[in-house]
Chain A
Amino acid sequence: MLRGMHLTAIGDSSMLLEPGDSLDPSDPDNYIAELMEVMQREGARTLMYDLEKVPLIDQIYYAWLVRLNALCHLANVELIVVNIRTTAAFSLAMGLKEPPPFKCSLDVDSARQGIIVSL
């Protein structure tokens, strides 16, 4: 099990990442290598990042997501963030200068049905 997060294979070469309370987004180097290893081992093609328990996305958290997206790109994995909360979407949209590099979907079901938004 990876530190600070739950990573579950959910079929169709997809994995679901649920960040835990102990995840430290300011230190991505702690997780990157291990995460890459698990995704490659599982043959993941899609990584769904569940933001349901993240009330606010600040610059540090956003930088972590961008870094994770870069990692996924290297691993030929598509990063889709799902279940973003309205407060987080609101604050992030207000602060963004460029569109985010990752894709978004309403929830896991929508993402699996291919209803994915690229900004």
Chain B
Amino acid sequence: MAKKKNEKSTNQILVELFMTQIGAITNVIDEQGEKIFVTDNLLSSDEIKDYSLEFMELLVNVLHAGDTINRRGMEYKALRRFFTEFSNQIQVRGGSLEEFIRYIQFLQKVFLEGLEADIKLSFDESRALLLLVAGIFNDISLDVFNVYLEEKEKTIQAQQDEIKQTSTPITEIWDGVLTLPIIGTLDSSRTVSVMENLLSRIEKDRARVVVMDITGVIAIDSQVSHHLIQMMRAIGLMGAKAILTGIRPEIARALTSLNINLGDVMTRSTLSEGLKEAFIYLGIKTCSADTKIS
């Protein structure tokens, strides 16, 4: 049904309502911002004022952009971007999602209370305004939640990467000799990442021997042993010799009970034995400083 010429759009009604109460709304928002963010030292009073002002401006821009809210419009995107950046800053400074959502809910409440206060509005107008305000703040809450999830995922990923890196440090212990102590459990994804790193290091350092120490491997099953064999084969295919060290009695018992054949794999009891074997393989002789060289 076509709208009458003099009939105001929901956006216009909200703008007018907003303009008549802007002073009060700003004060309330500032006050609540102070309570939530300044108390916890997340933002300063000046920052709160700046954010409130920017929010008001962006909201007015959205409402002025047309008779209805254009969710794909630049103004609406700018408003959502403002909140994602704002929430990002709160997170960076150690704030929680709960605090920020509480703040957004408060903003929504302030607007809704503003509507209730205006008795001139008809039921239909109030309903339309209510839906409009709820829609805007729902979108904002969803964006903030997504930002929070993304940040959490990034943090978890970074921590996982760090754990992976530190739990399998590949060290060139001698020219052409790499050591790889494996600690914990070797699952498929870790095997892939260790193998990628190891093969790249063999290529980069022109390594000829790799000593893999599994003293830190707590338990072994058929899958883990299969991964070990894959790693040893990949090392061999690169042209480097693989030496497996640190097989503890429990691990040896598990390997024999699993019928895993490590017949093709060179094994030594300890890392130092493995290193000696590497030296023999490379034709390196070590002697004490006192020994006379003939």
Contact = CB atoms under 8 A, between A and B. Distances in A.
Interface in A40-80: none
Contact of B208 (A93, A96, A115): A115
Given A110-B208, A115-B208, A90 B234 contact: yes
A84 B239 contact: yes
Interface in B182-240: 195-196, 199-200, 202-203, 206-208, 230-231, 233-234, 236-240
Given A86-B199, A86-B203, A119-B264, A93 B239 contact: no
Nearest to B227: A94
B241 interface: yes
Given A90-B196, A93-B195, A105 B239 contact: yes
Contacts, number: 70
A90 B208 contact: no
Residue picked from B196, B202, B230, B231, most chain A C-beta under 10 Å: B230
B253 to A, nearest CB: 24
A64 B174 CA distance: 36
A11 interface: no
B230 A94 contact: yes
A93 B206 contact: no
A115 B239 contact: yes
Given A90-B196, A90-B199, A93-B195, A104 B239 contact: yes
Interface of A: 81-82, 84-86, 88-90, 92-94, 96, 99-100, 104-107, 110-111, 115-117, 119
